Amino acid sequence: MRIDRVCDVFLTTSWTDRNLSSVSQAGLVNNLNDGMAWGLFPLFFAAAHLSIERIGVLAAIYPATQGFLHS
């Protein structure tokens, strides 16, 4: 019974309702951006032999800028 409801929600948000599908896709892209900023960029900076302090500052710029621009 519960699985049927989860499947219905998935189908509605993915295929049936275009507005919900657009919102879901926008959320996926936003999460991808955050994953890049928090996961891959620090690894890239470490591979470029930057110090931990410099990596921390660069990693903090993204959420600080996002928070400043959203307020």
| Distance set, CA 62 to CA 2, 4, 15, 21 (Å) | 39, 39, 32, 27
pTM of the model: 0.57
Arithmetic mean of pLDDT, 9-16: 87
14: left (phi over 0), alpha (psi -120 to 50) or beta: alpha
What are 26-64's pLDDT values in tens digits?
989 988 988 888 888 899 999 999 999 999 999 889 888
